[in-house]
Every structure is written in structure tokens, then in C-alpha cells.
Amino acid sequence: MIKIDRPSTAPTKLTKDGAEATEELKRLFEADPDGYKSGKKKFVFNKKIYGHETVKAALKAAQFDKCCFCERKTEVGHVEHFRGKGGYQQDETETLQYPGYYWLAYYWTNLLFSCETCNSSFKRNFFPLKNPKHRATSHHDDISIEKPLIINPSTEDPEKFIEFYSHYPKAIKGNKRGLETIKRTGLGRPFIDDRRREHYLRVKAFYLLSNEPSLPANKRDELRQLITEASNKESEYASMIRCALKHGFRY
Ligand SMILES: [Zn+2]
């Protein structure tokens, strides 16, 4: 994971249709708060708004086609809600709680671009907080007092929480938010691990060769250029490569 710079201006689809749809959701909640809190009534969300091509394209461009969690480039991908719109779970011991953060379903700063697996198979409705008592459960509550355990790559720097040992993700000094983020987004799952390993070994080979005195200087420069590119924010698994460069590909 790396820090994501989402453009400050939201796509018009969200500021117009999204804003209207949000007001409607708030009206529905006001009419029957207990119905929505008990889960007897459920909100219906319009994917044509939050998942609109202009919204997805803006997020994809800001993230260089990479998943906000695993940094895999993906052509398809999902518009992911950082705070889940339909419901939430603190952890596995809690059943799905209703309603979710319905008032943020079309809210620009709650949206990220992610791969299907991180979104649908791992993070799902999990949204653990440091103190669950601070959870905002309706649009009347203040989300700013929440302290989410999952790192939000659009507001904070994930590289302060997660590092890599070789290609394995690790929470820096075992910090709880790093651990929780790795677990909830499946950052260490075998498929991604294998892909990261291949990439790690390839860039490591470049790194070792770039320090090989028997190679002509211009060839070593070419290799250094490739290594720099691999650590740029546009590249897959950039956070892993940056970490490897810090320790000189020692592992
Ligand atoms: Zn992913």
C-alpha cells in the first residue's frame, strides 16, 4: 500500500446525482430509524452512481490502475467504499450490523479503487475501530471521532505502518493497525505473495547487477533507471521495492 492522492474535486455524477440520492437515503432513515437499525429495512444503493464510469476512471487514474490495498494493477476492479455502505462488522465475533455508512455511499472521499479480491473476498464489511463505542451509526453522528484500524491510503501513509521482509508484508514493530490492515485486506494471501515474490526477485537481480563493477557503466545506469521506475508510485508493488531499497535487498 502507498499513499494515494485522490483529486480534491469530486466527479459531477457524485455531486449531482449522488448528492440527491444521499438526501433520499437520509429521508428514508428519518422516516423509520428503528427499521434500518434492526436490519428489517435495508437501503438500496445505485451502483450506476458510485460505480459510474467517470467515478471509476478518476479513481483509477489517481491510483495508476492499481488496487488501493495490494498495489496490483487491474483493468477491471471495483469502486470500493472505505466505510462500507450496507453494513459493518467490528470482527468475526460480531454479526453484520445495520445500517452501514449509507450517507457515505456516494461520497467522494469514501471511495477508492480496489481489486475484486481485496474488496469482495477480504475486506467485505469489516470496518474495525479502535473504540467501537465511537462508531457513527447514522448521518447525525460524527465520523471524525472514529479511529479506524484499517489504514486509509487516501488520508495517511501506509508505509508508516507496513513494511516488507523480502516480499512478505509485516506490521512495523507489530503495530495493531498494520496487523489489522494486512489481515483485513488479505495482503499476505498466496496469490499476491507469489506475484510479489517474482517481482522482488527480478528487481533484486537488477539491483545486484547494477552494483557489479565488471558491467559497463552505461549498462549499470540502465539497470538503476529500471530500479527507480519500480519504486515509483505508478509501479506495481512500489511499497515493497521502496522497502527493499532501504535495506539494500538484503533478504
Ligand atoms: Zn487488491
Q: What is the pLDDT of residues 116-140, one digit of tens each?
A: 999 999 999 999 999 999 999 999 9
> What distance in angstroms lies between residue 71's CA and the mean position of ligand 1's atoms?
6
> What distance in angstroms lies between residue 69's CA and the mean position of ligand 1's atoms?
5
Mean pLDDT across the stretch 74-85?
A: 96
> What distance in angstroms lies between residue 148's CA and the mean position of ligand 1's atoms?
19
Please report which helix (H) or strand (E) contains residue 78, including its range. strand 78-81
pTM over 0.85: yes
Which residue in this structure is represented by grid cell 465520523? 143
Residues 196, 89 share a domain = no
Residues 211, 133 share a domain = no
Q: What is the pLDDT of residues 82-118, one digit of tens each?
A: 999 999 999 999 999 999 999 999 999 999 999 999 9
Residues 200, 108 share a domain = no
Query: Residue 163 is which amino acid?
Result: E
What integer pLDDT is reported at residue 113 of this predicted model?
98
Residues 197, 149 share a domain = no
What integer pLDDT is reported at residue 245 of this predicted model?
97
Residues 116, 207 share a domain = no
Cell numbers of 158, please? 501506509
Indicate whether 180 belongs to any domain.
no
> What distance in angstroms lies between residue 16's CA and the mean position of ligand 1's atoms?
29
- Which residues are in the CB-under-5-Å shell of ion ligand 1? 67, 69-70, 115, 118
Cα distance between residue 51 and residue 232, in whole Å? 28
Query: In whole numbers, what is the pLDDT of the chain averaged over residues?
Result: 97
| CB contact at 8 A, 125 and 84 | yes
> What distance in angstroms lies between residue 42's CA and the mean position of ligand 1's atoms?
28
Mean pLDDT across the stretch 67-83?
A: 96
Residues 108, 208 share a domain = no
Find the domain containing 76 and state its range: 12-156
Residues 200, 107 share a domain = no
Taking alpha carbons only, the member of 155, 34, 26, 159 closest to residue 83 is 155
Counted residue by residue, the chain has a size of 251
Residues 137, 39 share a domain = yes
Mean pLDDT across the stretch 131-154?
A: 98
> What distance in angstroms lies between residue 249's CA and the mean position of ligand 1's atoms?
24
> What distance in angstroms lies between residue 182's CA and the mean position of ligand 1's atoms?
11
Query: How many domains would you assign to the chain?
Result: 2
Mean pLDDT across the stretch 16-43?
A: 98
Cα distance between residue 196 and residue 215, in whole Å? 27
Say if residue 251's pLDDT is above 90: no
Residues 234, 113 share a domain = no
> What distance in angstroms lies between residue 35's CA and the mean position of ligand 1's atoms?
34
Q: What is the pLDDT of residues 164-211, one digit of tens each?
A: 999 999 999 999 999 999 999 999 999 999 999 999 999 999 999 999
- Among the three residues 156, 181, 215, which one is the final residue of a domain in this structure? 156
> What distance in angstroms lies between residue 117's CA and the mean position of ligand 1's atoms?
6
> What distance in angstroms lies between residue 33's CA and the mean position of ligand 1's atoms?
34
pLDDT > 90 fraction of the chain, expressed in percent and rounded: 99
Indicate whether 162 belongs to any domain.
no
> What distance in angstroms lies between residue 223's CA and the mean position of ligand 1's atoms?
28
What integer pLDDT is reported at residue 52 of this predicted model?
98
